Amino acid sequence: SPVKTRLRVTLLGTGNPRPVPDRYGPSILIEAATSPPTRILIDAGRGSAERLFTLGGRELLSGIDLLLITHLHSDHVVGLPDLWLTGWIFGRRSPLEVRGPEGVEQLTSGLKTAYAFDVHMRGDIDEKLPVEGVEMVTETIRSYSPIEFHGVKITPITVDHGPVKPALGYRIDFGGKSVVLSGDTRYSENLLHAATG
């Protein structure tokens, strides 16, 4: 669906590890009215691919530009293989960029190994899908300085998820609008500071 406002936030799922079908897993879609629109997903919980498809069909499912992960608990990343592979099957023609805390590169590397058969069959033998669309470019967030991505400013924030370290939130700025989002957290001065103004 086309972005009608400068910066749009859609809660795709707000659940937790309990598999409740009417809540889906944690996942938030951010759309910035760049040209073409920039689509950022924060976390890929259970059912995130289904929610994207329901919301915007093939175009939205295959059109995620960047996945930001808040932390590596399974309920925040279990939908990543579906987002990655089904997005490719439905037309993604460029790499899926993934950024997150320490361990994110190990996660995506493991997924590439786990799904190597499927990637080989769909890319080389059966459907001959373009190899560029199944690439995942992964980067560990080590600095909490702002990142520029397609004209959108993303500022990673450390939050307090107890022993789970690092756990991140993100401030997204575009077109004079801002939104601050977090994964699981307790009271966090960093989050309050990032949301000021």
Which residues belong to the active site? 75
Residue 43 CB: number of other CB atoms within 10 A?
Answer: 27
Which token pair is 46? Answer: 């259970």
| Alpha helices, DSSP H, located in the chain | 48-61, 74-77, 80-89, 104-114, 116-120, 189-195
> Could you give the CA distance from residue 74 to residue 85 in angstroms, rounded to a whole number?
18
User: Which regions of the chain does DSSP assign to beta strands (E)?
Assistant: 7-13, 27-32, 38-42, 66-68, 96-100, 136-140, 147-149, 152-161, 164-174, 177-182
The sign of the CA dihedral 30, 65, 47, 146 is negative
Measured between alpha carbons, how far is 76 from 164 in angstroms, rounded to an integer? 13
